Chain A
């Protein structure tokens, strides 16, 4: 399997904007490399932003431990592996389904990030391996 990109991002909240900027650039670079439409770039930037900000805000990752993003290509899919050494947390199992039907008065604030990730990726897998959270996200690139 071909590794096309490898990023190490600080989990420090002060460096959040810098990390997001690098992820946005990564999505644009991949989009250009595989000649994918703007909609794909938007979806990929959104998925990366939601996952990354969740880890930075709630993961309690140590200051010396980077968040590692590896991108690989396999079978017409882009596989994005995101690893961190924060607290054990499976975003896909440990978050409730958000309210998507009520109006402004009843609508709870938040909870949409993980939902959007689930909507926008082809598949997702969470594993706790030793002291690491490993998220594997697959996105189609053969469109």
Chain B
């Protein structure tokens, strides 16, 4: 759906599946200084009143820096304004530890996998 390339040759890819008001966005690649703006824009485009839930599937995200955390915070605010519930699922242990040490699980609900995130209600 949205694709961007940074100069290190590593890509950030967002592929959204929308079904009955539920969006599952598969994110692959790195969310760093060079890709965070495109990440934010790509996800924000999915926020709409008819989308009750937007679950970010982070299984394919192997790196998030503070620029990525900044984008996540801005997205969490935008989701609230759009009346969408944003969740993140499937983070690898390295990315998850960055979320935990910065207390970001209080900014956005984090789940082990997409199914658990979806079952946690809207």
Contacts and interface: CB of A to CB of B under 8 A. Distances in A.
Nearest to B106: A103
Contacts of A99: 103
A20 B34 contact: yes
Size class of B's contact patch? 20 to 34
Interface of A: 16-18, 20-21, 24-25, 38-39, 42-43, 45-46, 49-50, 53, 98-105, 107, 109-110, 112-113, 115-116, 119
Given A49-B33, A50-B66, A115 B106 contact: no
Interface of B: 6-9, 32-34, 62-63, 65-67, 69-70, 73-74, 76-77, 80, 93-94, 98, 101-103, 106-108
A39 B97 CA distance: 10
Contacts of B102: 98, 100, 112, 115-116
Nearest to B95: A42
Nearest to A18: B7
B101 A38 contact: no
Secondary structure type dominating chain A contacts: helix
Contacts of A103: 106-107
B70 A110 contact: yes
B92 to A, nearest CB: 9
A101 B33 contact: no
Contacts of B108: 104
A43 B73 CA distance: 21
Given A20-B32, A98-B102, A115-B102, A104 B66 contact: no
15 contacts: A16-B33, A20-B32, A39-B94, A45-B63, A46-B98, A49-B33, A100-B102, A100-B103, A101-B106, A103-B107, A104-B76, A112-B70, A113-B66, A115-B102, A116-B65
7 closest A-B pairs by CB: A21-B8, A100-B103, A17-B7, A113-B66, A112-B66, A104-B76, A42-B94
A103 B76 CA distance: 10
A107 to B, nearest CB: 6
Contacts of A105: 77, 80
Contact of B33 (A20, A102, A115, A119): A20
Contacts of A39: 93-94
